[in-house]
Amino acid sequence: MIKNILLELKDLQKESLENKDRQKSIAKVFQNIKSYSINIDPSLDFGELTAEYHRLIKNTIKNHFKSASEQIKQFKKNKNFENCGIVILNTGLNSLPHKLFKNMVKDILDRETITIEFAFIYTQKMQTNGWNMTSVFISEWLGKVPKEIEDIKREFDEIINIKMSEMITKNNSKNVLESQKPISFEINDKIFFWNPGQIKFPWEQN
């Protein structure tokens, strides 16, 4: 609680492409694709299948919204709050680009929840080859954000900058974040894969 504003914290900690049930659902979406090797990068355009595939991913986020909404309603039984929101951290769903993550959260806020009025979203990603490292840290407000808590983003970003500096100076990124890695699985004689790309070593640079 901050100044009679209720925030519920949720964290996307697991990569859904590694979930066996999710893999079966993905295979079902793409079952009529003739190719035996399918790149399931969510940022790609799959034509009429895109909406269905994105809906699968979005359901993971919706489940966190549903849980947060139920918890908020329990709190509101004993006290009235001026505003209710969610802090949703994407610390593990590495295959989901931040822009798409943002669009999905915004759509849920606009169309699928009444209890939750705003969201603070955060994405972190890191990839290393043992020598070089690339990292992404992005935070944003979405929805009807009360002015009383807008500074949270600035303070949060300051903490992240400190953590990033520590990762670089101490070279301990592996101890702090899990590095992105390729994911693949086979179902019904089709190979499904997602690849974050390769980081070149300094001597490989052009």
Nearest-10 Cα torsion for 37, 43, 44, 49: 90
Q: Yes or no: say if 109 and 118 are a contact pair by the CB < 8 Å rule.
A: yes
Q: Residue 206 — very low, low, confident or very high, per pLDDT cuts 50/70/90?
A: low
Query: What are the pLDDT digits (tens) for 168-191?
Result: 777 666 566 788 899 999 999 999
Residue 84 token pair:
């209710």
What amino acid is encoded at 87 in this protein? V
Q: Quick one: angle between helices 50-76 and 20-29, nearest 10?
A: 140
End-to-end CA distance of the chain: 52
The average confidence (pLDDT) of the chain is: 90
* Tokens 């070279």 -> residue: 171
What amino acid is encoded at 102 in this protein? K
Whole-number pLDDT of residue 102: 97
pLDDT (mean) for 106-135: 90
Residue 180 phi/psi, 5° resolution?
-65, 145
H-run or E-run covering 6 = strand 5-12
Whole-number pLDDT of residue 130: 74
In this structure, the strands spanning 37-39 and 190-194 are: parallel
Q: List, in sequence order, every beta strand (DSSP E) within 35-104.
A: 37-39, 83-90
